[in-house]
Amino acid sequence: MTSEENIMITIPFFELEFNKKADQVNQAEWQLIKQALKHQAYTDVIVLSHGWNNDMDDARRLYNALLKLIQAELDKKQLSNRKFMAMGVLWPSKKFADKELIPGGAASTDTNPAKSEVIDDCRKLEEFMDLKSRVILEDIRKSLESNAEADEVSMKFKNLFESMGRDESKNEDTLPIVNLDRINMMFIDEGFWMDNDEGIGGDGVQNVDSESGNGEGVIPLSLWTGILGGVQNILNVTTYYLMKDRSGLIGRSGLNPVLRKIKQVAPGIRIHLVGHSFGARLVSSAIMGEKIEDEIAVDSLSLLQAAFSHYAFAGKYDGSKDGLFRSVVTKKLVQGPFFITHTRFDKAVGIAYAVASRVAGQAGQGLGGKNDLYGGLGGNGAQKTDEAVSATLLATGGVYDFKPEKVFNLKSDEYISGHSDIIKPQVAGALVSAFLT
């Protein structure tokens, strides 16, 4: 079989870069795409979006690796009536402050972060905040430098969350983001994240022993490491929500108008959206746009280890409320295959939602699992979604029975070992099957 290194990508690739306000950075990029659409008779466009990355080179490497595998799968089909092009969305995202929570990083519970490391993390976060929030973050940094008490710093973090002014109407669920009275629960041991013997994404509710504070193989709630570990944990959840919001904004206000222009230039072209991590939220938001009249139908939607709520596509997930992206399903805005890869090994998605659960005081829930209010798509697939179908990510050469108007939850434990472990022939096989169905 041809190795990945020897595969030549013949699918033309175009970049589309947005700034943090969802404006296109270089209008010449769209002009190149427009000319290609007008003159090359493409039948299909693949739109790729990365998740959290420190720089654009990370995203480019992801796109190159994934397109090589997609190219290999398409070459096997020897298609004569389909002509593909690809677009890679580039957007300013940021990794979690703590390197131990970055996908692929090795978790360590033996040491606490140094003060200089945490202060540096505060500085890195400033560029993603408005002036009011930056002033508060600067005050937090000064408190750290002067060895302030934990209570003082936690109060300032409450002020920081309040200053961020998040638009709750753009959340995929209406669960509380933070219970400000419980924010000091974030001052917990790093071992919090990795002590679940079942791995993130287990199904059950954990039994918490009221005497010890310990669940069955899960959260040792009594472990406290002091102010620096706590600050870094709060920086992680702050970064998470900032990047979650940004991915939605760029999808709604940046990518959506481009997709509508593509339809105008090439009315018959098939559009295939592929998003990883927060990029999955970006492409889902792009379908909906800012207003109802902005909604756009696409031909396939593939969400790879999506870092947002497993209720995003649900109907009446709490008995009365729909997920934010429910209309994507009910209005049949995905006219072909729609699949979501998920695995219990995705600790990054599980960690992010475990943080939210802890701040909101959901101590009795199995963190990140199907019964967790804050579970994620990358861990569990779409939950409380009547249209969801349970399936499995197949070996290469496997045949999928994709059907329209369904959401296929592809359990991927056999092939995906972590949040960013998506550069796999099996993933490419599912993608190409979705493109061609």
Answer whether 385's CB lies under 8 Å from 370's CB.
Answer: no
SS3 20: coil
Could you tell me where the DSSP H helices lie in 334-416?
347-360, 377-380
Domain boundary among the residues 190, 214, 243 is at 243
Residue 359 lies in a domain: no
Query: Are 144 and 286 members of one domain?
Result: no
Residue 75 has pLDDT above 60, yes or no: yes
pLDDT for 161-174, tens place per residue?
777 665 555 666 55
Query: Are 323 and 429 members of one domain?
Result: yes
Query: Are 207 and 234 members of one domain?
Result: yes
Domain total of the chain: 2
Residue 253 lies in a domain: yes
CATH number of the CATH domain containing 66: 3.40.50
Domain boundary among the residues 194, 227, 243 is at 243
Residue 101 lies in a domain: no
Residue 308's domain spans which residues? 4-94+246-345+366-436
| Structure tokens given for 106 | 């090795």
Residue 87 lies in a domain: yes
300/336 Cα distance (integer angstroms): 5
Query: Are 408 and 262 members of one domain?
Result: yes
Q: How many helices (H) and strands (E) does the chain have?
A: 12, 8
Query: Are 189 and 252 members of one domain?
Result: no
Query: Are 302 and 373 members of one domain?
Result: yes
Higher-confidence position of 33 and 237: 33
Query: Are 424 and 376 members of one domain?
Result: yes
Residue 354 lies in a domain: no
Mean pLDDT, the chain, as a whole number?
80
Query: Are 209 and 118 members of one domain?
Result: yes
Closest C-alpha to 182, from 128, 230, 132, 229:
230
Task: Mark residue 321 as left, alpha or beta (left: phi above 0; alpha: psi -120 to 50; beta: remaining).
Answer: beta
pLDDT for 234-251, tens place per residue?
677 777 778 888 999 999
Residue 63 has pLDDT above 50, yes or no: yes
Answer whether 413's CB lies under 8 Å from 344's CB.
Answer: yes
Closest C-alpha to 197, from 217, 169, 211:
217
Rounded average pLDDT over 36-43: 96
For the entire predicted model, the pTM comes to 0.82
212/178 Cα distance (integer angstroms): 25
Domain boundary among the residues 212, 243, 274 is at 243
SS3 93: coil
pLDDT band at residue 326, thresholds of 50, 70 and 90? very high
User: One-letter amino acid identity for 211?
Assistant: E
Rounded average pLDDT over 357-367: 49
DSSP codes joined into one string, 261-282: HHHHHSTT-EEEEEEETHHHHH
Could you tell me where the DSSP H helices lie in 109-199?
115-126, 131-145, 150-163
Q: What is the pLDDT of residue 213?
A: 32
CA atoms within 13 A on the CB side of 320: 2
Residue 199 lies in a domain: yes
Residue 353 lies in a domain: no
Q: What is the pLDDT of residue 168?
A: 57
- Three-state secondary structure of 297-340: CECEEEEECCCCECCCCCCCCCCCCCCCCHHHHHCCCECCCEEE
pLDDT for 111-147, tens place per residue?
456 788 888 888 877 877 788 888 998 998 898 888 8
Query: Are 31 and 118 members of one domain?
Result: no
246/183 Cα distance (integer angstroms): 23
Query: Are 191 and 70 members of one domain?
Result: no
429/266 Cα distance (integer angstroms): 27
What does residue 264 show for φ and ψ, rounded to 5 degrees? Answer: -70, -40
Query: Are 276 and 422 members of one domain?
Result: yes
